[in-house]
Amino acid sequence: MSLVSEFNDYRQRMNEKIMAADNKVIKRFFNLDTNTYQEGALDVRTKEMLGLACSMVLRCDDCIKYHLGKCHEEGINDTEIYEVFAIANLIGGSIVIPHFRRAVEYWEALKEESATPAPPHAEHTA
């Protein structure tokens, strides 16, 4: 299983389990997160790049992977993503570097996976 598939499958499985608990506060929090990243005064691309930079500074590898995936879906290119990486490293300092390395690894995996055609009848998990 690829790095990207493993992350997406785990995230989906656990989100389903969390939502099945039917906790109103948790559902509202998840909904707030979803609504925050929708088109508004800022476009989705910008919001995802902001989310990525903040996640890197906060050193949350799962959040970094999530926002990298969304940035990839939004068509953000290598030059743009490396500018986000530069901002995150500048603001976060050298402690961000290990997360930066993992972010680059995940970004490369996203690009590689999208360049490889999916086998027939394969499910796509986004």
This prediction has a pTM of 0.88
Sheet strands (E) in 55-112: none
What tokens does 100 get? 């930066």
Q: What is the pLDDT of residues 105-121, one digit of tens each?
A: 999 999 999 987 655 54
Task: Fill in the DSSP letter of residue 124.
Answer: P
Q: What is the pLDDT of residues 23-35, one digit of tens each?
A: 999 999 999 999 9
Tell me the C-alpha distance between 48 and 109, whole Å. 18
- What is the pLDDT averaged over residues 28-53? 97
- Eight-class DSSP state of 43: -
**Domain boundaries in the chain?**
3-115
Q: Are 64 and 52 in contact (CB under 8 A)?
A: yes
Q: Which residue has the tokens 């300092």?
A: 93
The domain 3-115 having CATH identifier 1.10.1740.10: the answer here is no
